[in-house]
């Protein structure tokens, strides 16, 4: 940082112009300084560590793995342990807020369905380094325990993850059925 400050001071320093047009020379010094600053900032941005997209994808995949296995322990290990976590499933009539309500929702779903198969389609991941969001669609096939026919539908889905130390934890799941 000190080298940058020294560079900036030298470039922007009002020096004796060598030309007969002192104002033009001063303007050129400013332009060179601004160009230099822009180049340094873009180099710093390019050198910054890329977002942890692989770790976010792994966390998102863990959600679908726990869902398909109907495993409440694995499902809850994907979620952050925060009072503000939020779940809205495709059959939800209310928001499930907090770990207790989210757990009850998934326990109920795992008891109601004998088989759950949900596949991501066209997932897009974005992050700012602290939060990440995964948006896309899902193909879902759910087999109710007391029905002969399975339910098949697609949903729009949004997952929001929060970085907790080195691990990405789910703080919001929202799946909405796509009308046929």
In the chain, what are the domain boundaries? 2-47, 53-177
The pLDDT of residue 36 is: 52
Confidence grade of residue 91 (pLDDT, cut at 50, 70, 90): confident
The fold of the 53-177 domain, in CATH, is Nuclear Transport Factor 2; Chain: A, (3.10.450)
> Does the structure show a pLDDT above 60 at 29?
no
Confidence grade of residue 15 (pLDDT, cut at 50, 70, 90): very low
Helix 2-12 / helix 22-47 crossing angle, nearest 10 deg: 160
The pLDDT of residue 44 is: 42
- Residue 35 makes CB contacts below 8 A (sequence gap 6+) with none
Note the pLDDT tens digit of each residue in 131-175: 999 999 999 999 999 989 999 999 999 999 999 999 999 999 999
Name which of 87, 96, 86, 80 is nearest 130 in CA terms.
80
Confidence grade of residue 180 (pLDDT, cut at 50, 70, 90): confident
The pLDDT of residue 167 is: 95
The pLDDT of residue 59 is: 97
Contact between residue 153 and residue 90 where contact means Cβ atoms under 8 Å apart: yes
> Does the structure show a pLDDT above 60 at 10?
no
The pLDDT of residue 49 is: 43
Residue burial 41-75, b: 16+ Cβ < 10 Å; e: rest = eeeeeeeeeeebeebbbebbebbbebbeebeeeeb
Name which of 123, 112, 108 is nearest 175 in CA terms.
123
Confidence grade of residue 6 (pLDDT, cut at 50, 70, 90): very low
The pLDDT of residue 33 is: 52
Note the pLDDT tens digit of each residue in 31-67: 545 555 545 544 444 433 455 999 999 999 999 999 9
Choose between 12 and 52: higher pLDDT.
52
Ranges assigned E (strand) in 46-166: 86-88, 96-97, 113-127, 131-144, 151-164
DSSP string, 62-76: HHHHHHHHT-HHHHH
> Does the structure show a pLDDT above 70 at 126?
yes
Place of tokens 């995949």: 61
């Amino acid at each position: 940082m000190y080298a940058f400050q020294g560079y900036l001071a030298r470039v922007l320093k009002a020096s004796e112009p060598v030309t007969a047009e002192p104002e033009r020379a001063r303007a050129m010094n400013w332009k060179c300084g601004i160009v230099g600053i822009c180049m340094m900032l873009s180099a710093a941005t390019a050198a910054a560590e890329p977002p942890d997209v692989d770790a976010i994808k792994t966390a998102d995949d863990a959600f679908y793995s726990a869902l398909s296995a109907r495993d409440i322990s694995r499902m809850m290990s994907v979620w952050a342990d925060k009072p503000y976590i939020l779940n809205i499933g495709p059959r939800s009539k209310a928001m499930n807020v907090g770990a207790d309500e989210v757990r009850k929702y998934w326990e109920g779903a795992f008891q109601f369905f004998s088989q759950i198969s949900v596949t991501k389609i066209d997932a897009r991941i974005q992050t700012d380094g602290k939060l990440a969001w995964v948006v896309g669609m899902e193909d879902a096939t759910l087999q109710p325990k007391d029905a002969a026919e399975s339910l098949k539908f697609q949903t729009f889905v949004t997952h929001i993850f929060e970085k907790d130390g080195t691990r990405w934890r789910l703080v919001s799941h929202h799946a909405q059925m796509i009308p046929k």
